[in-house]
Structure 1
Amino acid sequence: MWFFGGSTKTDGETVAVASESSENMPGSNITRDTTPAAVLPQFELPAFDASKLHPLAGLDKELEYLDLDDEKLNTIEGTGNGILPSRGWNDDLCYGTGVLYLGGLGLGGLIGLNEGFKNLPPGTKDLTTGKIKPAPFKLKLNTVLNQVTKHGPHVGNSAGTLGLLYNVFDSILDRYRGKHDDYNSLASGALAGAFFKSTSGLKAMTYSSGLMTLAAACWCGFKRAIN
């Protein structure tokens, strides 16, 4: 504020007015660049190295998702002959049930697809011309989808239940005998098949137990062929 005058402008306002007047003067060559400068984040700078943030982070190494610590693997005799490393019965239960459910879902979908194409609705006969008109495409598609959704979940649920029962019995026998071998797998298959059809009578239990024993034998042979 001036002591002997009526001006109330501050120093900042005075500088702003002076700069505006200098820009508006004729013959002035002063230009102002109002474009903001591009500022890169620090993690995009060439000098930034993420591996130096913390030496224990291991950012300079590749991620290995399927590798498990040897201390955490199942220590029962014979469990190291599997296709994937296992930490115990919970891994076997999740892997076995999930794989069988997805496999059964796909197999049931293929069965339903075949049944849907076999049972396509026939065409209708035109009474005036005597010609047969084909069924609408939407009706055919609906028939096929109905068969797929009918057989797919049914086979998938059955296969997943059998896989769950098999792994439960297999884990119990492994703990009881202290080792994992083909005899455990065959016995687990027989028990799982019998328990699965326990409400359908003795004959159905026998058939189911025999089929599951055969499936367990095929699984043991497959593991031996791979290992």
Structure 2
Amino acid sequence: MNDDRQDSQSGAVFGEEGQGQGRLYNPYADLYGAADLKSLESVYRLPSAPEYLFPDEAVVQRRNWSENLTYHTGCGYLAGAVGGGAKGALEGLRSQEGSDTMKIRVNRFLNASGHRGRAYGNTVGILGLMYAGFESTASHYRATDDMLNTVIAGLGTGVMYKAAAGPRTAAIAGALGGIAAAGLVAGKQLTKRYLPI
């Protein structure tokens, strides 16, 4: 008897008894109008620029020297390894002879691509390391972060990379590094202007 009374109370709570007392609760009843996209645009006004919790975070717009060093070295190594690996793969495919077995062909292909990939990756990684050091140093001593730091870093990297080959070769490499850095800066500015991404 106790169970019957408990069942009747739970039925009243969940609306099973007394159908005339009201309607059942539907949690999705108010969501049918939410699919209107015009009303969503006025509710959610998204910012066009990043919002910062602390004003100090808005001032810092660049990586610090250690992040810069890691970024340029890693990207340089990756780019050099991929480019060198591709060149080595082509060399490995061209050097195959007609009498080679499949195992020897695959071995020659992998050896050539791995050898060139490591060599180019190390070289371009070192260039990225030197570039990051020069760029961070120029940014620190000039107390500004502009395009001239990039050109100075390219110039310094070229000079430092070919310093052992003599002053004339180092000057030419420095000029080429500065011109390449200036070209990259100009390309970045043109991309920002004409291809807004």
| TM-score, length of structure 2 as denominator length | 0.63
Q: Displacement, 1:146? A: 1.4
Residue 72 (structure 2) pairs with residue 119 (structure 1): no
How far residue 222 of structure 1 moved from its aligned partner, in angstroms, is: 3.2
Which secondary structure state, in structure 1, belongs to the residue aligned with residue 100 of structure 2? coil
**1:70 and 1:102, CA in 2 relative to 1: closer, same or farther beyond 3 A?**
farther
Deviations 1:16-48 (A, max 9, x none): xxxxxxxxxxxxxxxxxxxxxxxxxxxxxxxxx
On the 8 A contact 1:93/1:167 being kept in 2, the answer is yes
Matched ranges for 1:25-36 at <5 A: none
CA distance in 1, matches of 2:81, 2:112: 13
- Aligned-pair identity in percent equals 30
In terms of Rg, which structure is larger? 1
The one of 56, 60, 70 equivalent to 1:71 is 56
- 1:148 paired to 2:101: no
Deviations 1:157-191 (A, max 9, x none): 11111111111111111111111222221121111
Aligned-residue offset at 1:152: 0.4
For the pair 1:172 / 2:103, whether they are aligned, the reply is: no
Distance 2:172 2:115 in 1: 24
- SS where residue 139 of structure 2 aligns? helix
The aligned residue for residue 104 of structure 1 is: 80
TM-superposed CA distance for 1:93, in Å, is 1.5
How far the C-alpha of 1:70 sits from its partner, in A, is 5.8
Letter in 1 for 2:152: A
Show the counterpart of 1:219. 184
Taking the aligned partners of 1:198 and 1:185, their CA distance within structure 2 comes to 20
Q: Does 1:159 align with 2:121?
A: no
**Alpha-carbon distance change, 111 to 206 in structure 1, aligned in 2, over 3 angstroms:** farther
**Quick one: structure 1 residues 215 and 106, their matched pair in 2 at CA, closer, same or farther if it must change by over 3 Å?**
same
Q: How far does the alpha carbon of each residue in 1:96-152 deviate from its partner, in whole angstroms, 9 at most, with x for none?
A: 1111110111001011011111211x23xxxxxxxxxx3211111111111111110
1: CA distance between counterparts of 2:154 and 2:128? Answer: 9
Scaled by the length of structure 1, the TM-score of the pair is 0.56
Distance 1:202 1:217, change over 3 A: same
Gaps of 5+ in 2: 1-50, 193-197
Seen in structure 2, the aligned counterparts of structure 1 residues 183 and 190 have a Cα distance that, compared at 3 Å, is: same
CA distance in structure 2 between the aligned counterparts of 1:150 and 1:92, rounded to whole angstroms? 28
Figure out how many residues of one structure are paired with residues of the other and give that number.
Answer: 142
Summarize the alignment of residues 178-193 of structure 1 with structure 2, pairs less than 5 Å apart: 178-193=143-158
Point out the structure with the larger helix share.
2
Structure 1, unpaired ranges of 5+: 1-66, 81-85, 124-133
Q: Cα offset for 1:219? A: 2.2
Query: Structure 1's 98 and 115: CA in aligned 2 closer, same or farther, altered over 3 A?
Result: same
